[in-house]
Structure 1
Amino acid sequence: MPKCHTGLCLSVYVLTFVLGFPANILAFYTFCKKVRQKATPIDIFLLNLTVSDLLFLLFLPFKMQEVMDDMMWNMPYIFCHLSGFIFFMTIYNSTFFLMAISVERYLGVAFPIQHSLKRRPVYAAAASIFFWIFSIIHLSIVLIIPFIASQPRICYEDFTDAQLEVLLPVRLELCIVLFCIPFFISSFCYINFIRILSSLQHINRRKRLRAIGMALGTLVVFALCFGPYNVSHIVGFVQWKSPDWRDNALLCSTFNACLDPFIFYFSSSAMRGSVSSVWQGVTKRLPGCLSCRVPRVLKISSSNNSAPGQLWHQLQFGE
């Protein structure tokens, strides 16, 4: 099976790591602080999504080394199974948390009073634990496959017929359960989220447009990052072989780890405040740079927590 071009794969992995790791570290700090102070369901889901992305990024250097070794596994073989498991488990785990965030957003605008009275952080924590366990169980196939007529020094690549007999149906099930269902639920929630917000003309126009942009952006990221790779599962099942372009499709899923922080920024005022603080800290250390001034949008975003707008923002956006 043709492999992803070394330069292309390595470029995507390095870019994702360089952009995604510091952004997710900032998000992790922000949401940990927010959860300790006053946890809300949306904060818990965003924190778990950040943890999933950080796990993915921490094991991404193993994939970089594998690419540089022409897809031959020259590291301790135990890390082959572990890195492959973390790599795929966190990719699919992200779909659940993106789905949970969309449900939380939709309920916040569709049933603001009822939802604000019934929502409890403990429910979000329980759902998060379920998502982790569910993803771990489903992706355990990554740990099992190498032991079925395994080939030495090859890590989850060039599968035998015996391995494909098990793997192809499982991939189809992963596509349906861990991608299609979360994507359809997210699409339903965000489409109705946009419809409801568009009808609320008394709401501040800038806030409304920002929320609509966040919803559309999340759906686009969801489709572009996870769609191609999961389509390869369907094609592979129909053709009963791994498609030649599967590795290239997987690169789209890799990008999700550095795109999620943009979702965090538009989803959380705490994240916007952290970005603003970091930017101010940077500009203070660059006194000679006349153009390094805090963008007006960051200042405005960080001031949106003041009353009376804060109450509506908490009810409608879950913060």
Structure 2
Amino acid sequence: MSDALIHTPHSWPEPRAMLRLIKPITWFPPIWAFLCGAVSSGVPLGANWGTVVLGMVLAGPIVCGMSQAANDWCDRHVDAVNEPDRPIPSGRIPGRWGLWIALAMTALSLAVGWLLGPWGFGATVVGVIAAWAYSAEPIRLKRSGWWGPGLVGLSYEGLPWFTGAAVLLGTAPRFETVVIAGLYAFGAHGIMTLNDFKALEGDRQHGVRSLPVVLGPEVAAKIACTVMGMAQALVVALLLIWCAPWHALAVAALLAAQVAAMRVLFRDPKGKAPWYNGTGVVLYVTGMMISAFAIRGLA
């Protein structure tokens, strides 16, 4: 789709459209993961509240918002099919304003990341590269149903968790923190796969080989749930090994509730995917914080 197709009589983007472009609803996962990392560090949060708040703002509204703007710009052709009412294909953000917003927020991300010291800045650089690698040509990892969700899971869950701990510690987090953050990032691959269900038709037309497109909704849903379940089962096992039985029991109970929700999902994967994202994912992220407190206890 040429840029001419997204022009409107307006020369300036609508403020509400700009807010929708950076999708506040998507900010929660990286904010929560950064907070999990801060908790798992063992460092008193009250004495470092300014750093924690700045890190949460960076992870959510700034870096995640930037990634959403970049994705919507690079996906304007697909969105014209799937969701033509989105800010760019609808023309409420005209011309190349979507690209300019994404680039401006990229610069802002790096500037704020610099304020968090070497660990914060390094993680921000990685996050910015990942965001553009996911969406932009010629790399566009979004085209792969395996690499795309994996990169998003790492960027939304693993990287912010690692950063939250590293920034407060001023050094690399302990082994347990890295492993648990990695497992929850791995499990988030399943969450991102379920998120792809809403774009089935546009993905088919534009060569995005998401797992729902390649394997069908039924198989993709089973793979997504298996990945989420395996990650949390390993978390439970590690917490038991690390002598945190009550935390392990709590995560196991949350996993059992997710399994019950998964059974509902399997009856109608495409129709129930949004419902599962509002129920099973809440249980998933609750287990993240419980695990963070378990690691904090080990410290």
- TM over 0.5, shorter chain: no
TM-score, structure 1 as length reference: 0.32
Q: Which one scores higher on RCO, CA 8 angstroms, separation ≥ 6? A: 1
- TM-score w.r.t. structure 2 length? 0.34
Higher-Rg structure is 1
